[in-house]
Amino acid sequence: MKVAIIGAGACGLAVANVLCKTKIEYVVFERNKKPGSKILASGNGRCNIANDKVIDKKIKINYQLLYDFLAVNECPLVMDDEGRYYPLTNSSETVLNVFLKALKPHTLRLNCPVSTIKKQNNQYLIGDEVFDKLVLCSGSGAGIISTKRNVVYDYLTSLNIQLTTLKPSLVGFKVKENISSLKGLRISARATLYNNQKAIYTEDGEVQFKEDGLSGIVIMNLSYYYNQLKYYKNPQIKLVLNPNFDYNHLKSLEYALPRPLFDYLAKNNLKPDNLKFSILSTYDQSMAQVIAGGIPLAAINLDFSLKQDPNIYCGGELLDLDYPCGGYNISTAFATGFMIGENIKDSYEICNRIKDASR
């Protein structure tokens, strides 16, 4: 059996780490010069690899496979107050190295973009190489400036798989107000997303002001809930600046706020506990951490193969599965990869047992 894995990201490297311990032949195709660029970028270079909480029950994901792999490979994790796991080294590079150490260099084809996939006699042609199974784990365009067409999305569409709408998520928002004077400021705030005057989601954290919008983890989390809205009517973000501070006893805010914010509030006659911004849109995919939407879960079997063609497996961000910040996205990409690898291994062993029995 020969397996093509398209993408050397979190999902593809997890698949390869299962297959490398079997007799199954596999090749990982990676269009970049180096593997795992998003593993390296995650958690600001620290790799927020997982979260103690499980927030999704839409699909059964075995996160234990990721924890077991890290434990066996002696890559200890530490957890912060909010349940986020990081490698003890605080470095994404450690995580990438753990995932690369068992892979033979010839199985990892770098600088090797897959540009066509063809099906021929129940097998798959990539260039002129023939494979028995495909693993599609080419991720998304999040965090990337690219106008190139996504070959894997095109291939899925050619199989009549209707992708759900792709939207940048875990991303900042462009706002209507002129806030260029606040560019570069960071402040602790309580941020609430409103739609049609109704509060949708609130979180406390650091807000970053940009030339034309708002960002920061707390704002990125708002974008996750924004993308789930069925319709948009006057969507807004309300900020309460320094939410644990009582401004009432102060005669003036002059020394309680950074000067540009003090000036902005004074000019617009605003209060620090009621600062509203009208959302124009999210920023584009190049500024996003993930893309919401993708392969609908209804199109895949429990083993992550396509209902349309069970020899094709799909995992990671290609799936219509996305979460707020906190390690949920990357751990899902890793875990789906391990599950796909285990399922391919099982189907290989069953085939061999059937062959042996018929001899």
Ligand X SMILES: Cc1cc2nc3c(=O)[nH]c(=O)nc-3n(C[C@H](O)[C@H](O)[C@H](O)COP(=O)(O)OP(=O)(O)OC[C@H]3O[C@@H](n4cnc5c(N)ncnc54)[C@H](O)[C@@H]3O)c2cc1C
Q: 177, 278 in Cβ contact below 8 A? A: yes
Among residues 47, 50, 15, 46, which one has the least CA distance to residue 30? Answer: 15
DSSP E strand boundaries for the chain: 2-6, 25-29, 50-51, 77-79, 84-87, 108-109, 118-120, 123-126, 129-131, 133-136, 167-169, 173-175, 186-195, 198-209, 213-215, 236-241, 275-282, 290-292, 312-314
**Residues 14, 66: Cα–Cα separation, whole Å:** 8
| 148-167 positions binding ligand X, by CB under 6 A | 151
Interface residue with ligand X among 3, 5, 10, 117 (CB under 6 A) is 10
| 310-339 positions binding ligand X, by CB under 6 A | 316-317, 327-330, 333
Q: Using CB under 6 A as the criterion, what x/- string covers residues 201-220 for binding ligand X?
A: --------------------
**Residues 295, 31: Cα–Cα separation, whole Å:** 21
Interface residue with ligand X among 37, 123, 181, 347 (CB under 6 A) is 37
Nearest to ligand X of 15, 182 (CB atom): 15
Nearest to ligand X of 225, 262 (CB atom): 225
341 binds ligand X (CB under 6 A): no
Place of tokens 């090797």: 112
| H helix runs in 236-327, sequence order | 259-268
Beta-ladder partners of 236? 194, 278
Q: Which stretch binds ligand X (CB under 6 A): 1-9, 16-24, 197-205, 293-301?
A: 1-9
Q: Which stretch binds ligand X (CB under 6 A): 3-11, 16-24, 228-236, 243-251?
A: 3-11
Interface residue with ligand X among 3, 4, 7, 239 (CB under 6 A) is 7
**Residues 268, 107: Cα–Cα separation, whole Å:** 60
Nearest to ligand X of 98, 330 (CB atom): 330
282 binds ligand X (CB under 6 A): no
Nearest to ligand X of 60, 355 (CB atom): 60
Tokens of 234: 């006057």
Cα distance from N-terminal residue to C-terminal residue, the chain: 19
Q: Which stretch binds ligand X (CB under 6 A): 4-12, 174-182, 194-202, 261-269?
A: 4-12
Nearest to ligand X of 239, 322 (CB atom): 322
Nearest to ligand X of 224, 277 (CB atom): 224
Q: Which residue is nearest to ligand X (CB)?
A: 9
Q: 158, 275 in Cβ contact below 8 A? A: no
**Residues 124, 134: Cα–Cα separation, whole Å:** 7
- Could you tell me the smallest distance in angstroms from the CB atom of residue 316 to ligand X? 2
DSSP string, 110-173: TT------EEETTEEEETTEEESEEEE----STT-------HHHHHHHHTT--PPPPEEES--E
Nearest to ligand X of 131, 194 (CB atom): 131
293 binds ligand X (CB under 6 A): no
294 binds ligand X (CB under 6 A): no
97 binds ligand X (CB under 6 A): no
Q: Please report, as ranges, the residues that interact with ligand X according to CB under 6 A.
A: 6-12, 29-32, 37-38, 41-43, 48, 113-114, 137-139, 142-143, 151, 289-290, 316-317, 327-330, 333
